[in-house]
């Protein structure tokens, strides 16, 4: 993956699964910590599609587009858009597309939380 398409990339260790209890049948909330940047992450993952447990490590990448040529993605969901077309999704096992729900910057304390 060329770094020009990625805004962020790091490996995260899953620390906890559903720390506040299970709320949804198919989705679990995970707490994780990154190896390189020591970032904390809370993320919801569909565990029917991508089973994950505490202790596992996953690579997380953020990009502003899935298009390999860097052109912006459409704002409208189209499940056929990438059929038969190479995209950034080809390089990962699990992909989510959309907006980041909440971001907290705690750099004054020396840590960054997302």
* pLDDT tens by residue, 46-102: 999 999 999 999 999 999 999 998 888 887 878 788 888 999 999 999 999 887 777
Domains of the chain: 3-99 (2.40.50.140)
DSSP for the chain reads --GGGEEEEEEEEEEEESTT----SSEEEEEEEESSS--EEEEEEETTTS---TT-EEEEEEES-S-TT-PPPPSS--TTTTTTS--GGGG-SS---S-----B--GGGT--B-
Given a cut of 50, is residue 2 above it in pLDDT? no
């Amino acid at each position: 993956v060329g770094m020009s398409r990625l805004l962020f990339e790091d490996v995260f260790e899953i620390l906890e699964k559903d720390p506040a209890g299970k709320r949804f049948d198919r989705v679990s909330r995970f707490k994780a910590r990154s190896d390189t940047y020591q970032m904390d992450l809370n993320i919801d993952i569909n565990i029917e599609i991508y089973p994950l447990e505490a202790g596992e490590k996953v690579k997380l990448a953020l990009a502003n587009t899935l298009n390999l040529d860097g052109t912006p993605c459409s704002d409208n969901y189209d499940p056929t858009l990438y059929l038969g077309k190479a995209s950034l999704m080809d390089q990962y096992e699990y992909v989510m597309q959309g907006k980041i729900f909440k971001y907290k910057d705690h750099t004054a304390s020396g840590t960054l939380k997302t």
